[in-house]
Amino acid sequence: MKLSKLALTACFLWGIGLPLFAQNNVVIFGPRDNVLAYRIRTSRPRAAQNFINFYAPLPRNRAVAELQIIYPREMASIFHPDRLSVRNRRSQAEYAIREMLVDEEGGSVRIVFHSPIPAAAGQELEIISEGGTNPPPGMYQVRVNVLGTEANPVFIVLGQWLVSIY
């Protein structure tokens, strides 16, 4: 009995020191703020021709002109511009993309929309990656930011996806 209490206390104290510990997008220790949902067809390492759907809610009080995705180098195949499309999750209407700016060294892609997505409550984006190859086993943090249409726009953090490959 004492051993189980000691083990439970040790696990709890060990978890407090970690900023985040998660698996399969379920946060065990640490803040759950801004952890976004995703759906992956197969989570096997190095699986080719994979589909991943990333979901992100849009801010209700500002229009969105650009989307920025920051990813680790191992996921470069998944975020290749030829494999990405963006649509409204509810209506399934695809947004026209004017250009995609890729920074391979920094591990980011900026998606510039042809016309800004208007501000409205309850809007959610679905970013679809088709035909990429999964990275080696592990958990990968992918962040997403949006740029508004105001006079001096600044990137605003929408959240992060914790992608588990196992």
pLDDT in tens, 40-93: 999 999 999 999 999 999 999 999 999 999 999 999 999 999 999 999 999 999
Residue 75 included in any domain: yes
Question: 37 or 29: whose pLDDT is higher?
Answer: 37
User: What percentage of the chain carries pLDDT values higher than 70?
Assistant: 80
Burial of 150 (0-12, 13-18, 19+ CB in 10 A): exposed
Domains contained in the chain, number: 1
Residue 47 included in any domain: yes
Query: What local confidence, expressed as pLDDT, does residue 34 receive?
Result: 84
Residue 151 included in any domain: yes
Neighbours of 63 (CB within 10 A): 18
Let me know: does 65 contact 147? Beta carbons within 8 Å.
Answer: yes
Residue 20 included in any domain: no
Strand partners, 111: 67, 100
Residue 27 included in any domain: no
User: Nearest-CA neighbor of 34 among 126, 147, 121, 143?
Assistant: 143
CATH of the domain at 146: 2.60.40.1290
User: Nearest-CA neighbor of 155 among 64, 86, 75?
Assistant: 64
pLDDT in tens, 143-166: 999 999 998 989 999 999 999 999
Which domain covers residue 69, as residue numbers?
A: 34-165
Cβ contacts of residue 117 below 8 Å, gap of 6+?
58, 63, 64, 65, 95, 123
